[in-house]
Amino acid sequence: MPGFELFGAEERKEVQDVLDNGVLMRYGFDPMRNGHHKALELEQNLAKRMNTQYAQVVSSGTSALTVALACAEIGAGDEVIMPTFTFVASFEAILSVGAVPVLCDIDDTLTLDPEAVEKAISPKTKAIMPVHMCGSMADLAALKAIAQKHNLILLEDACQAIGGTYDGKPLGSYGDLGCFSFDFVKMVTCGEGGGIITNSEKFADRAHMYHDHGHDHVGNDRGAESHPFLGYNFRISELNAAVGIAQLRKLDHILEVQEKHYTILRNALSEIPEVTFRKVPETGVESYAFLNIFLPTEDLARKAHKALGNHGVDACFYWFDNNWHYYRKWEHLLEAKSLSKFSEEIRTGLQKNNRTFEASDAWMSRTVSCLIKLNWSESEVNERASKMTEAIKSIL
């Protein structure tokens, strides 16, 4: 998965363009830039690749989610439904706009369970935020139908599944807004960076202003621009955007390599009857960033994870015990530990999450996810396939 595995002359050239003219910021300084607008170019390329009208690049995936929520006017006391399996950024972004993250069960897609979403809706719900974890996606048609029925925003967190598709559409482009992360370990990296895609002119127009202190970006004099509403600084630097331009050009190659490696490993594990695979919605195509498997029980999943490590198979994860990705270890969220005082609405709203999520636990406790890397040679992938098979068979 990490795009940094493929760093080369292409990334260096794009960064060198920026260093040669010295303009590290995306706005202003036109006479000095030599025609280089890296952030803008990355936005144009991202919108084109994702078949959307608009793209906005920002400083991180977390900023992308924050800006997207703000553009959809989600704020004080509003509830946003998010899955129990994601990255902490999901609830950080929701809290940062003053809204309340409401945790919701996942199913065998390892993403939001549409039935559980329907049950989690309250009069305060404003948005549903599916997170396409580990290279595959939520059942977006079902979630869109629910969103439309209840007049909610559908905001896709596609940070871990860039390049995957659903119903022929790139992940992130199916809902009202979609977000990507370009942090250092993602499939396309800028070092640090993120992106928002949308077909809504209203949201796109808000995004460029909100992410840059509310500047309206009209005219050539930054100091004289007006501010239709308050914003913050979620800008990406030209240096980071430059890396992203070279990386995004490699996305289709990355997807091809991942699919090849994934398929070899999956075919090998398919021969073990006790191993089953994560469900991919009918019209979905994975990004193949991870191979996600289920063992028959929690005990066997723990043993399989351990055996994989002992057999020298690196980069396999047992998310059920993970600090960053699963709700069981988010005590800072569940106990509302914040430096500054939370609003009353957030404090009472968060109490909704103090419950167990048995359906999520039933799936996650049986899940082992293995990262798909890009630089494996053919013999390394084949060797990995036999080691994985051997490791899992050893505990059955």
* Interface with ligand PLP, residue 110, by CB under 6 A: no
The strand ranges marked E within the chain are: 54-58, 79-83, 100-104, 125-128, 153-157, 165-166, 169-170, 177-181, 194-198, 276-277, 284-285, 290-294, 316-317, 367-371
- Torsion sign, CA atoms 220, 222, 226, 228: positive
* Interface with ligand PLP, residue 155, by CB under 6 A: no
To the nearest whole angstrom, how small is the minimum distance from the Cβ of residue 371 to ligand PLP? 12
* Contacting range for ligand PLP; rule: CB under 6 A; set: 54-62, 205-213, 297-305, 335-343: 54-62
The answer to whether the beta carbons of residues 51 and 143 sit under 8 Å apart is no
* Contacting range for ligand PLP; rule: CB under 6 A; set: 59-67, 111-119, 168-176, 294-302: 59-67
- Torsion sign, CA atoms 310, 311, 314, 317: negative
Of 86, 240, 365, 369, the residue at the interface with ligand PLP (CB under 6 A) is 86
Count how many Cα atoms sit within 13 Å of the Cα of residue 306 in the half-sphere of its side chain. 10
* Contacting range for ligand PLP; rule: CB under 6 A; set: 157-165, 209-217, 271-279, 313-321: 157-165
* Interface with ligand PLP, residue 360, by CB under 6 A: no
Give the strand order in the sheet containing 165-166: 169-170, 165-166, 284-285
* Contacting range for ligand PLP; rule: CB under 6 A; set: 56-64, 309-317, 351-359, 362-370: 56-64
Burial call 31-53: b when 16+ CB within 10 Å, e when fewer = eebeebbbbebbbebbbebbebe
The smaller minimum CB distance to ligand PLP, of residues 143 and 275, is found at 143
To the nearest whole angstrom, how small is the minimum distance from the Cβ of residue 7 to ligand PLP? 18
The site for ligand PLP, by CB under 6 A, has a size of 14
* Contacting range for ligand PLP; rule: CB under 6 A; set: 58-66, 70-78, 146-154, 384-392: 58-66
* Interface with ligand PLP, residue 172, by CB under 6 A: no
* Interface with ligand PLP, residue 130, by CB under 6 A: no
To the nearest whole angstrom, how small is the minimum distance from the Cβ of residue 131 to ligand PLP? 5
State the burial class of residue 342 (Cβ atoms within 10 Å of its Cβ: 0-12, 13-18, 19+): middle
The smaller minimum CB distance to ligand PLP, of residues 61 and 101, is found at 61
> Can you tell me the distance from the alpha carbon of 246 to that of 222, in angstroms, rounded to the nearest whole number?
29
| 3-state DSSP helix/strand/coil % of the chain, to nearest 5 | 45, 15, 40
Helices H / strands E in the chain, number of each: 14, 14
The smaller minimum CB distance to ligand PLP, of residues 89 and 388, is found at 89
Beta bridge partners of 170: 165
**What token pair was written down for 34?**
């030599």
The answer to whether the beta carbons of residues 66 and 96 sit under 8 Å apart is yes
To the nearest whole angstrom, how small is the minimum distance from the Cβ of residue 138 to ligand PLP? 12
* Interface with ligand PLP, residue 139, by CB under 6 A: no
Site string for ligand PLP, 310-349 (x = CB under 6 A): ----------------------------------------
To the nearest whole angstrom, how small is the minimum distance from the Cβ of residue 74 to ligand PLP? 16
**What token pair was written down for 54?**
């608009």
Of 56, 84, 109, 181, the residue at the interface with ligand PLP (CB under 6 A) is 181
To the nearest whole angstrom, how small is the minimum distance from the Cβ of residue 170 to ligand PLP? 16
To the nearest whole angstrom, how small is the minimum distance from the Cβ of residue 95 to ligand PLP? 14
Q: Is residue 186 annotated as part of the catalytic site, yes or no?
A: yes
* Interface with ligand PLP, residue 194, by CB under 6 A: yes
> Can you tell me the distance from the alpha carbon of 341 to that of 101, in angstroms, rounded to the nearest whole number?
17
Cβ neighbour number for residue 300 with a 10 Å cutoff: 19
- Please identify every residue annotated as catalytic: 186
Q: Which residues bind ligand PLP (CB under 6 A)?
A: 60-62, 86-87, 89-90, 131, 157, 159-160, 181, 183, 194
